[in-house]
Amino acid sequence: MSEKVVFWYGCNVVRHGDIIHSSIEILRAIGLEVAPVGGPSYCCGTSKDANLRAADGMAKRTVGKFNDLAIRLAEGGPPPADGTGAAASGAPAPAEPLAAAKVVTWCPSCHRHMNQFMGEYTDPQFPMSHFTQVVHAQRERLRERLVHRVERRVVLHRHFGFREVDVNPLVEDLLRLIPGLELVDSDVSVPGHMCSALVSVPAALKDVTRGVCDLAREAGADTVATVFHSCQRVLCGLEATEPFKVVNYVSLLGEAMGLSLVDEYKEWKLAGSADAVLERIGADRVEELGEAFVREQLMPELLRAPAK
Amino acid sequence: MDSLRAYLDRFVADTLDRCTRCGRCYDACPMTPYARELDGASPPAVVEGLLPLLQGAPGSTEAVAWVKVCTQSATCIDACPEGINAMLMLRAARMGALGSLGGEAQMSSTEDPLFFRKIEAFAATQLTPDEIEQWHRASPGERSAS
Ligand code: SF4
């Protein structure tokens, strides 16, 4: 029987359905049965520093749902035994091995919030690992599925703030599995755990964005690989003016697996005008969301070019 | 079950008890050059001005400026000789500066009031109705893995 995992992708990554779908296919490729969850009803509450009652309620609700889901999924089966999972911080030491399925995180904010806050005052009954740890531990199995050549010269956009999991070397190892892909060695690493952390400090984000362009040029890279969704969100618009592509690393793994998933969010960011964005989103989806809402609430983000 | 506030109160009491105001966490921070208010600031003095925020009391202008540029780079954690999670200390100070710990707010929240509405909207463009139903809305008892 294959191991079942909960894949907790978070909230903001829903801008990039290709990242969610590629990640699920990667987890399946290494032999896992996946129950994906995300969106507002699984929010960790990390953005609620101004409203601790809301943060408290969200954390308790989400941990409670995970306890329920992870135990149901495991159906009394053996605990995950690949050695990559540590019990979420704050979980009491169980008398018996945990029978719950593992929760696999994608978002470093959710992962951090679970470790720093939620796990400290709730009662998580499940082991938790980051996506990179789980996939890296089974990378030889993944290698068998990476059969399509991806002829790119890639440099990785690295942050040093996600202290809980040393994701950069794990991602670099995964990228090196891809046939045809040339990974440029780099030790350039920037503050924050991902680019969204820098948005509230525009001068820092500008420095980092300019640094990405310099790094790609000096490396002679045709592709900048992002680790996290918010870096993909913030940097993908660079393709409008720079001679390189911005692609999340799971999309590169997906390309090598033969998946053909499109980063639509990037296509919208590169559309160039409000009318072109609406055309690319398509009349049906615009109507479903409400054109006024799209124009007033989503368009400013989609038309904003990366400042550098 | 515990509460977020009770957990924070324990963390704050422990931090206030152990912090020597040495300022090494501030020294290790890569973000301080991005706040003009911090030009030439004394690290111990900035920390001294930060600690009241943990209890919902006013912090110094410099301390609030430091809180505003914190991007959770985590370099402060290893820098602390007392083993305090200084990144968490900054996060708690941020909650204090936002007025969440009982005092007056000294900075405004950057939270987007339409955050969840936008998440739902983007999800509707990127996931199928079935995926949204299963992955976002179904109760744990209705879920299976595939
Ligand atoms: S390094 Fe530690 S002890 Fe020194 S000021 Fe910072 S938190 Fe306090």
B83 Rama class: left (phi>0) / alpha (psi -120 to 50) / beta = left
Nearest CB to A73; choose among B5, B123, B145: B145
ipTM metric: 0.92
pLDDT, position A81: 35
Residue A301 lies in a domain: no
CA A82/CA A5 separation, integer angstroms: 12
Backbone angles phi, psi at A88, to 5 degrees: -55, 140
| Closest-approach residue (CA) in chain A for B28 | A191
Strand partners, A225: A156, A247
Substitution target from A4, A5, A121, A293 for chain B, most B beta carbons within 10 A: A121
Residue A106 domain boundaries? 3-137
Look at ligand 1, atom 2, and give the residue with the nearest C-alpha.
B80
Residue B106 lies in a domain: no
Kindly state whether residues B84 and B121 are assigned to the same domain: no
A10 alpha carbon to ligand 1 midpoint, in Å? 32
Kindly state whether residues A165 and A85 are assigned to the same domain: no
Kindly state whether residues A77 and A177 are assigned to the same domain: no
Q: Which two tokens stand for residue B56?
A: 């919902």
Kindly state whether residues A129 and A157 are assigned to the same domain: no
Higher pLDDT, A48 or B71: B71
Is B114 in CB contact (< 8 Å) with chain A?
Answer: yes
Mean pLDDT over A107-119 rounds to 88
**Does ligand 1 come within 6 angstroms of the Cβ of B28?**
no
**Does ligand 1 come within 6 angstroms of the Cβ of B22?**
yes
Residue B77 lies in a domain: yes
Kindly state whether residues B123 and B88 are assigned to the same domain: no
Kindly state whether residues B140 and B71 are assigned to the same domain: no
Ligand 1 atom nearest to B44, measured from its CA: 5
Residue A180 lies in a domain: yes
Sign of the Cα pseudo-torsion (A118, A66, A10, A51, in order): negative
Q: Which two tokens stand for residue A173?
A: 């190892």
Mean pLDDT over A189-194 rounds to 96
pLDDT band at A87 (very low <50, low <70, confident <90, very high): very low
Ligand 1 atom nearest to B89, measured from its CA: 7
**Into how many domains does chain B fold?**
2
Mean pLDDT over A66-74 rounds to 84
Q: How far is CA A15 from the centre of its chain?
A: 11
| Closest-approach residue (CA) in chain B for A200 | B69
Look at ligand 1, atom 4, and give the residue with the nearest C-alpha.
B22
Does pLDDT of A57 surpass 60? yes
pLDDT, position A75: 64
CA B106/CA A126 separation, integer angstroms: 38
**Does ligand 1 come within 6 angstroms of the Cβ of B21?**
yes
CA distance A149 to chain B (A): 27
Residue B77 domain boundaries? 4-97
Residue A296 lies in a domain: no
CATH number assigned to the domain comprising residue A224: 3.40.50.1860
Look at ligand 1, atom 6, and give the residue with the nearest C-alpha.
B25
Is B142 in CB contact (< 8 Å) with chain A?
Answer: no
A55: which chain B residues are within 8 Å (Cβ-Cβ)?
4
Element (H, E) at A4: strand A4-10
**Does ligand 1 come within 6 angstroms of the Cβ of B25?**
yes
**Does ligand 1 come within 6 angstroms of the Cβ of B19?**
yes
Strand partners, A207: none
Residue A271 lies in a domain: no
Residue B15 lies in a domain: yes
Q: Which two tokens stand for residue A153?
A: 């010269």
Q: What is the pLDDT of residues B110-122, one digit of tens each?
A: 778 899 999 999 9
pLDDT band at A79 (very low <50, low <70, confident <90, very high): very low
Kindly state whether residues B73 and B18 are assigned to the same domain: yes
Kindly state whether residues B92 and B119 are assigned to the same domain: no
Residue A305 lies in a domain: no
CA A52/CA A172 separation, integer angstroms: 38
Residue A253 lies in a domain: yes
User: Within the 42-81 window of chain B, which residues sit less than 8 Å (CB to CB) from chain A?
Assistant: 68-69, 71-75, 77
A86-87 and A127-130 as β-strands: parallel, antiparallel, unpaired?
Answer: antiparallel
A197 alpha carbon to ligand 1 midpoint, in Å? 23
Residue A156 lies in a domain: yes
CB B8 within 8 Å of CB B95: yes
Closest by CA to A8, choosing from A69, A50, A77, A81, is A69
CA A267/CA A257 separation, integer angstroms: 22
In total, the C-beta contacts within 8 angstroms joining chain A to chain B are 167
Does pLDDT of A162 surpass 50? yes
**Does ligand 1 come within 6 angstroms of the Cβ of B24?**
yes
pLDDT, position A99: 57
Q: Which two tokens stand for residue A143?
A: 């290698």
Kindly state whether residues A212 and A102 are assigned to the same domain: no
Per the CB < 8 Å rule, is B136 touching A47?
no
The mean-pLDDT minimum among A78-82, A213-217, B14-18 falls in A78-82
CB A181 within 8 Å of CB A216: no
Per the CB < 8 Å rule, is A36 touching B3?
no
pLDDT band at A91 (very low <50, low <70, confident <90, very high): very low
Q: What is the pLDDT of residues B75-99, one digit of tens each?
A: 999 999 999 999 999 999 999 999 9
Half-sphere exposure of B128 toward its Cβ, with a 13 Å CA cutoff? 4
B29 Rama class: left (phi>0) / alpha (psi -120 to 50) / beta = beta
Ligand 1 atom nearest to B43, measured from its CA: 5
Is B10 in CB contact (< 8 Å) with chain A?
Answer: no
Q: What is the pTM of this model?
A: 0.91
**Into how many domains does chain A fold?**
2
Kindly state whether residues A132 and A16 are assigned to the same domain: yes
